[in-house]
Amino acid sequence: MKMNILIERRIIFTVLFIAVALPLIFPIGWKTEVSGYTQMVYDLIESTPDGKVGIISFDYDPSTMTELQPMGEAMIEHAFKRNQKVILTALWPMGVQMAEQALETVLKEYPDKKRGVDYVNLGYKVGGMVTIQAMGRSLSEVFPTDSRNTPYSEIPMLDGITRLRDIAWISSLSSGVPGLKEWMMVARDSHDVPVTGGCTAVSAPGFFPYVNEQRQLTGLLGGLKAASEYETLLGRLGSATAKMDSQSIAHLLILVFIALGNIKAYTTKRRKG
């Protein structure tokens, strides 16, 4: 039977649609193996002493929140679990709302954590790399107030935190520019602060070379799978884990489609030749 290429495309989309939807409705519960890069991210926060302050920068907007939001939630939870304090910030305007949303989710399990004492949202700042450079000199100059207009000097957890070097670790959840690379170039390569983070799967191969002997990046969370691995390490059944069944089924299906496509191309070539 000869099929129109447009019909074939529609069949592929429909099958893929069903294959992704079904595991969301009927979860399978496949386990995720933890990769070395995710373990490095986890170990960085895990090995940081209690009371230290870390920065999580929400450098994305809602279009990539499926992949990056679970990472943000898991990292905030990890910091809280280890009694560390977190500064939330954003190099993307909508990152502020993403940070607040992630906080809201985590605070349901940690209701005793207080704004200004255990966490603070410093909000968005325009400028990308230049802003990070300025943070290296003075955080209060870049962020005179937090996102709720509380002056920097009146935020208890920021007492003694004047510049980037006072920060234990920085994590950027990034879906483009400015983002993880800018944090790495300034905070790690110039101020020697450990930088880690997460990115969308599509940009992960571009970041892997920075996880190297020089520790330009201390581990990397690449896409939804890495987010689910992080949740596994935390012992948390988060949103990334719930979505991994769909991801796995879709990947298997695409492998089948690629194989079928190759067989079809081969047979067509033989018939013509």
Partner 1 sequence: MAIMTTIGIWVAAFFTLCIFSFLYKDNPFYKFAEQVFVGLSAAYWLVYIIYSIMIPNLFAKLSSDFSGNLILLIPAALGVMMLMRIHPKTEWISRYPISIMIGTTAGISMLRYMKSDILQQVTATMINPFASGSVPVIIGNLLLIIGTICGVYFFYFSKKQEGISKWPSKVGIWFLMVSFGATFGYTVMARISLLIGRLEFLLGDWLHIIK
Least separation in angstroms between residue 201's CB and partner 1 is 4
239 backbone dihedrals φ, ψ, rounded to 5°: -70, -30
In the bound state with partner 1, the residue whose beta carbon lies nearer, of 52 and 185, is 185
Q: Does 34 bind partner 1 (CB under 8 A)?
A: no
Judged by CB under 8 A, does residue 101 bind partner 1?
no
Tokens for 233? 């390490």
Q: Which of residues 127-146 bind partner 1 (CB under 8 A)?
A: 129-130, 133
260 binding partner 1? (CB under 8 A) = no
Does position 25 bind partner 1 by CB under 8 A? Answer: yes
Instruction: Name the residue among 177, 174, 173, 138 with its Cα closest to residue 158.
Output: 138
Task: Give the shortest CB-78-to-partner 1 separation in angstroms.
Answer: 21
Check binding of 202 to partner 1 (CB under 8 A): yes
Contact with partner 1 (CB under 8 A) among 204, 220, 221, 234: 204
103 contacts 92 by C-beta, under 8 angstroms: no
Binding of partner 1 by 124 (CB under 8 A):
yes
> Is the separation of the CB atoms in 113 and 119 below 8 Å?
yes
Please give the residues from 42 up to 81 whose contact with partner 1 meets the rule CB under 8 A: 63-67
254 scored as a contact of partner 1 (CB under 8 A): yes
CB of 19 to partner 1, least distance (A): 10
21 near partner 1, rule: CB under 8 A: yes
Least distance CB 184 / partner 1 (angstroms): 7
Please pick, from the candidates 16, 34, 40, 233, the single residue that binds partner 1 as defined by CB under 8 A.
Answer: 16
CB of 157 to partner 1, least distance (A): 23
List, edge to edge, every strand of the sheet that includes 53-59.
119-124, 85-90, 53-59, 169-174, 195-199, 221-222
- Provide the mask over 212-251, with x wherever binding to partner 1 is found by CB under 8 A and - wherever it is not: xxx-x-----xxxx-----------------x--xx--xx
CB of 51 vs partner 1, minimal distance in Å:
31
Q: Which residues in this chain contact partner 1 in the complex, by CB under 8 A?
A: 6, 9-10, 13, 16-17, 20-21, 24-25, 63-67, 93, 124, 126, 129-130, 133, 181, 184-186, 189-190, 200-202, 204-205, 209-210, 212-214, 216, 222-225, 243, 246-247, 250-251, 254
